[in-house]
Amino acid sequence: MRRMPPFGLPDTFEAEPLPQPSGWGISVSKPEIENELEKKKLFGIELAKDHANAFEAAIATFGDNTGLALWVSSNWLSDPEVIASRDLYANTVGVKSKLLDKNQTSVELLKIAQDKVHGRYTAEARDRLKALELYAKLQGFLNDALINNSNTFVNNELKVVFVKPQSKEESKQIDVTPTEIQEPTTPINIKLVKSA
């Protein structure tokens, strides 16, 4: 015995596919682009520059037309004109092999030390400290000669100036090492003279 669906409605139905908006499916037709060859070359140059992805390069080429930029970023990546333009620009300008100067290197080191994702540092603490140390050395904040971890103090120089009040001669300056100083047996009058 076959059971009847309630209220006389069928127990199955067929769903028709929803219409897709333009720019969202596989069947997107090629848009009309003025000066297409020139735009392909410009897109290739923008790809060779330091853009994060192809969409940013397409936005730089086409401005505010995001729909066209989206289509170009997904369809022109393997175009021979785009590839040739990208490679020619990269080889001519040398974008990939550009050496960093002192300030650019310092900025990169600070990025390593301060980079966070979701409130957490991306580099480990020892790597961040090493990046900050290299930054300080590069900027001249840290000098290896100034770092002295020893507890001993050595005075390498001692200057003693003897002055006789009766004579009109100029005072003589004598450099004496600390081991040569002996305790005087007779009192000596010492006058300090500020040298220029």
Q: Is the pTM of this model over 0.75?
A: no
Strands 172-176 and 120-121: unpaired
**Predicted pLDDT of residue 155:** 62
CA torsion sign for 183, 184, 187, 190 is negative
Q: What residues contact 44, with CB distance under 8 A and at least 6 apart?
A: 81, 82, 83, 84, 85, 86, 87, 88, 89
Q: Cα–Cα distance between 196 and 191 in angstroms, integer?
A: 16
How confident is the model over 129-181, as pLDDT tens digits? Answer: 999 999 888 888 876 655 555 566 666 777 788 776 655 455 556 665 555 55
| pLDDT band with cut points at 50, 70 and 90 for residue 98 | low
How big, in percent rounded to 5, are the helix, strand and coil portions of the chain?
A: 40, 5, 50
Beta carbons of 177 and 158 less than 8 angstroms apart: yes
